[in-house]
Each structure stands twice: as C-alpha cells, then as structure tokens.
Structure 1
Amino acid sequence: MPSEPVVPRPAATVLLVRDAPAPPPGRAPLQVFLQRRVAEMAFASSMTVFPGGGVDAGDRAGLASWAGPDPTWWGERLACDTELAGALVQAAVRETFEECGVLLATPQLPADLQRHRSDLVARRQTLGQMLAETGLVLRADLLRPWARWITPPAVKRRYDTVFFVALVPDGQEADAHTTEAVEAAWWYPAEALEHWQRGEIELMAPTIRTLQEIAEHPDSAAVLAAADERVVRPVTPEVRREGGKVVVVLPDDPGFQLDVERIVPGGSA
C-alpha cells in the first residue's frame, strides 16, 4: 500500500524588494533579494531562493506589540485559521531578520540589534521576547500577501509556504550574514530568470513563477499595489510524466510547464 503523504509544515518566505538607484539601460528599477542556499541543506540545497523558513513554536505565541492588520485579517487573506496566520506573519518577520538582517519593526532599532539576531538564530530568544525586551513593535502593515504554495504530495519533505512582499525599510540593508546561504544579492527579476535559463543558477518552480510575476512590474510600488489586489489561494504543483520526461505543471496555469531536470538537482521530485 502506498504511504500517506507527509503533512506539509507551515512556512513563510519574503520577497524583499527595492528600487535600484541607477538601473542599467533597458532594466526597470525593481530588484528582489535572493540567496543561494548551502549544499548541505536538507531542503532546496544549492537553490537560489527568497529568504524564509518554517514556522517555529515560538512564532505561535500571541504578540502584544503588533501594528497593522491583525491575525484575523491575515487569516482571511491567506485562507487559513487566525492562529496560523499570526504565526506565519511572525515567521516571515523573524526569518527575514535572521537571514538578511532586515527587521520589520519600529520605532528606533537598538544598537545591539545583532546580538538579538544571534539569539534568535540560536533559539535563545523568541521574536516575542526580543520585541518585549527592546520595546519594538512588529509592523505587519509592512508585509503584503502574494501567494501560497504547497509542496506536491509525492515529496517527502513538504511545506505549505506563504509568500509575502515587503519593501526594505529606509535605513536598513539586507546582508548575507547567514550560515544557510553561500551568497546573497539584489537581482533584477528578469536577470535572475536569464541566469536560470542559462543554467547558471537553480530555481524551484514557485521561485520561477514568482519572479515571472513580479518581473511584469516596473518598480517596488507597483509590486506592492499588485499584492493588495491579489487573491491568495493555495497552489500545489503537479508532477507528471509527459512523453520521455517528468514535468511540473500548475493546475490553474496550463501555459506553465517545467522539466523536472531543470529545477531539481538530479531530477528527483
């Protein structure tokens, strides 16, 4: 008898966007922050991805220091229950801070911010504890919902991942100071897709589709405006054999089809 599919773990990923101060001729100013994961990672090793990760137990605690749309609002937008919605927002803020050093919180960030970042990474502190200690307020209004992707049932390590969009706050800089990535940089979305087409970087299907979507917009303001109008529904890619190859397709987008060999190292789904 075939085994039951693994229950997907809730996760959050964030499209950090900005406008390049001096884009080259022919490029729109929109840029997005991407990281290339280390080869030792159990999931998406060596892939170029947006910052993010799974929901932790600490993300499920309610926060008193919260500004912007509440978890009930987020639950309606993300098609999930209120408790999970709040945890996803916290995970998005925490992971972005841990992996990029960008903290979606106000008011003035403390001078010892890097100590708190290290404590979060080492799980010596939760996001809620850090906010309480520093007097900071989580800014849920700096996030916008973009999409929700669920790993196909045949995959052994599955995630139910909400994709958020956020503009890098003034005065903050994204960095590559994380053990989970070997490099990180700002990319023009079309440029990242061009590098993938040439086989110079590896991208997963949700990353490819998301880059295609945001590449339709000229700047960060247009992406945020588009996010406000999107209806987020769970999307589960389908993996099937067509002819002599295995492909990934999207149920609601017949024009989207990718050869598994192009997106999964070794062709393993």
Structure 2
Amino acid sequence: MTKPPPPEPRLSATILLLRDAAPQPEVLMVKRHYEIDFAAGALVFPGGKAAPADASPDWDAWTDGDFGPVQQDARIAAIREAYEESGLLIARPRSARGPGATLVGADMAEKLAPHRSAVDRGEASFLELMRENDLVLALDSLVHFGHWITPDMMPKRFDTHFYIAPAPEWQIAAHDGRETTDAVWMSAADALQQELDGAATIIFPTRMNLVKLARATSVQMAMSKFGSEPVVSVLPKVGKTEDGQPCLYIPEEAGYGQTVELLSRVNV
C-alpha cells in the first residue's frame, strides 16, 4: 500500500517583540490556553497561521517595505497576530509613513483594542481597520530571525517564519484571554531557566530561538546582528543518537549551537 504524502505545511509567522532591560533585553511571551490544540499551556511568542486576507494585494498601499509575496504575507500575519494576542500594534500614521518612521503610541493602540477579538475571529478585517484609521503596517520594522518547518511525520505542519522587532514604545501588552492566558516580559535566559526548573513548558523551536536571542545584549545589537546574518531553513529530521535514542536533527549551519534534540524533550 502506497504511503500517503505528508500534509503540506501552512504558512505561519511568529514575532519576538523586544525591549531593553538589564542585563539582557526582554522579549514578550504569551502563555497558550490549555484548551488550544497546539502547544497547549506553553510559553510562546505571539504568532499563528497566515490568513488568506494577509495575502491580499490591497495591502500594498497600506504597508511600508517591499519584501515579495511570501515575506510580505508572513510579516503581515506576524503583525496581525501580535495585535490580536498582545494588543501591540506595529503601525504608523499614513501621513507620516516611511521606513524607520515613528510607530503609533498608546492612544491609537487603546483605541483599536476593542476590535482585537473581532479581527481574531475573522469577523472584522484587519486591513479595513487600518484603512479606517489611516494607518500603514511597519513591515520594515521586522528582521527575519528564523525559519522552521514542521517535520514530515506530524499530522499538522507549519512553515513558520520568525521575526524580531522593537516593541512599540508606550504601548502596553495584554493577553487576549482566548488563545492566550498571560503576557509576560522576560529575558531569554530567564525563560530558558524557567523551563529547566519545570516552571514553564517551551516547545523545541521556541527554545532554540530563545537560545539564539540570548546572545544579544540590547535591542539595537539584536536588530543589527541578526539582520546581517542569513536565515537557514530548519526542517528537523527524525533519527537516532549513537546510543539508539529517538531524536530530531537540525542543520548546524542554522546557527543554533545545537544539532540534536531527543524526542523525549520535544513538547508539542
């Protein structure tokens, strides 16, 4: 009997929103609801699947930056998911647009906060919300940070692009209460320590991107360092260690400082 092909991975996007703190920058993490079917209860970065509307050509006039079809769609998805799950809005007034221009402040984020749930549920258009408030998404604020594809043997597969971006000043992050039950700022080192202590569940790709982020000592350094490095796609391969333990292998050139993960440590 012919084995059916693995399901095609769905385009997804995740964003690491950063703010300066001592001794390391902090990243916004949200806790997944326990009833969610993927990574239930885990600490993750805001993110999710790209929606068909994220690929609309109508976005061209309402975005800053030119990144091509896949990267534009994924960046729009990352900003939309950040808005839905945290309330943080990476956008600019259309009247003061342009790469590097100042992002909207707390007043605009608070004004649009009541629409988060409707956008999340697909009952309202994120694009129309931007149009009505004369805003453009600051796609240029995002630096491509990682690219992970779910292994072939998984029933649900994602083609996920990770981005880093400075968190908008003065805006306040708040979890959505539906997909996420908490929103916390912490250093990458603190998040990794929480997992080691058994105080948090962190899935493999999230952990690896925290390890990578932990090399940065400031937001500016993170944006500069990782913005100049190539992103190597990671499609973990199933195998066994030398002593016969089931594991996943990832490419050394991806730069995570680790190439083997025991399947017993992979939380899904």
Asked if structure 1 preserves the Cα contact closer than 8 Å seen for 2:248 and 2:262, the reply is yes
**SS of equivalent to 1:235:** coil
Deviation larger for 131-140 or 246-255: 246-255
| Aligned twin of 1:171 | 170
Gaps of at least 5 residues in structure 1 are: 75-81
Q: Which residue of 1 aligns with 2:146?
A: 147
Is 1:235 matched up with 2:234? Answer: yes
TM-score for the superposition, normalised by structure 1: 0.86
Does 1:45 pair with 2:40?
yes
* Cα deviations by residue, 1:48-107 (Å, 9 ceiling, x for unpaired): 11110001011111214434321xxx2xxxxxxx32222111101100000000011112
Compute the displacement of 1:224 (Å). Answer: 0.7
For the residue of structure 1 that corresponds to 2:201, the secondary structure is coil
Q: 2:74 aligns with which of 88, 98, 110?
A: 88
Once structures 1 and 2 are overlaid, which stretch shifts more, 146-155 or 105-114?
105-114
- 1:199 paired with 2:177, answer no
Deviation at 1:153, TM superposition (A): 0.4
- Please give the alpha-carbon distance, in whole angstroms, between the structure 1 residues aligned to 2:36 and 2:238: 23
Q: Which amino acid aligns with 2:149?
A: I
Write the deviation string for residues 206-248 of structure 1: whole angstroms up to 9, x where unpaired: 1111111110111111111112102123211122233353222
Q: 1:263 corresponds to which letter in structure 2?
A: V
Question: Separation in 2 of the partners of 1:51 and 1:92?
Answer: 8
How many angstroms does 1:256 deviate by? Answer: 2.8
CA gap of 1:111–1:257, structure 2 versus 1, over 3 A, is closer
Amino acid paired to 1:183: D
Cα 1:238–1:175 shift into 2, 3 Å = same
Within 2, Cα distance between the matches of 1:98 and 1:110? Answer: 11
Size of the aligned set, in residue pairs, is: 249
Where structure 2 has 5 or more consecutive residues not aligned to the other structure, the ranges are 94-103
Contact kept in structure 2, 1:66 and 1:139, CA below 8 Å: no
1:248 aligns with 2:248: yes
Change (3 A) 1:160 1:110: closer
Identity of aligned residues (%): 29
Q: What is the alpha-carbon distance in structure 1 between the residues aligned to residue 221 and residue 71 of structure 2?
A: 25
- Give CA-to-partner distance per residue, 1:15-63, whole Å, 9 cap, x none: 011012xx4xxxx231111112122111112221111000101111121
How big is each residue's C-alpha offset from its partner over 1:162-191, in whole Å with a ceiling of 9 and x where there is no partner? 001111111212222331122221111011
The equivalent of 1:54 in structure 2 is: 49
1:11 is aligned to 12
Q: Secondary structure at the match of 1:102?
A: coil
CA distance in 2, matches of 1:48, 1:174: 15
State the superposition RMSD in angstroms. 1.8
